[in-house]
Amino acid sequence: MKTNKSVAALCQFPFADGRSCRMPRSDSHAYLCVFHADRERHLLDQQSLDAALAADLCGSGELRTAADVNSYLTRLTKYAVAGRISPQILNSLVYAAALLVQTLPRVESEVTWALGFDEWKAEIRRLYSARKSVSPAPKLPESS
């Protein structure tokens, strides 16, 4: 018969069928074996990466101009090449970006029809000035 002390020294990871892992508990984790502690750490790291990735990928959160969509696609490509986005999710994000690009002329025509071209220009200027105040644009080398 097992004592409470020997059960406490085993991994406490529960399987779907109700059993617990029988591996010895890791010295570096309070209740999991080395294998399950590593899986838990990997899952927590992935969740924090996903949150950071989503925040960085969407940038300002608004994709209202061609430059916004271009910047989004550039970041998307960078993450895809680095392997941080799965191919299935990448396909969906690229498809959504293609739809956004197709709707940009309609958005412009709706705003110019409803408010006038001057309002559209003012909105574009506002978006660019807000972006400039957040992060300065890189200076281009002067041509001689």
Q: What is the dihedral of CA 102, 106, 107, 112, to 10 degrees?
A: 150
What b/e sequence results for 74-86 when a residue is b if at least 16 CB atoms lie within 10 Å of its CB, and e otherwise? eebeebbeeeebe
User: For each of the chain's 144 residues, which pLDDT tens digit applies?
Assistant: 455 556 678 999 999 999 989 999 988 888 999 999 988 888 887 777 667 767 766 665 667 777 778 888 888 888 888 877 778 888 888 898 888 888 888 888 888 888 888 888 888 888 777 766 655 444 444 444
- Contact by Cβ (8 Å): 88, 95: no
Whose tokens are 């000035």? That residue is 129
pTM: 0.49
Q: What is the pLDDT of residue 24?
A: 92
Q: What is the pLDDT of residue 2?
A: 53
Q: What is the pLDDT of residue 35?
A: 92
Chain-centre distance of CA 100, in angstroms?
18
| Alpha carbons 90 and 80: distance in angstroms, whole number | 7
Residue (of 12, 110, 17, 18) closest to 64 by Cα position: 110
- Contact by Cβ (8 Å): 38, 45: no
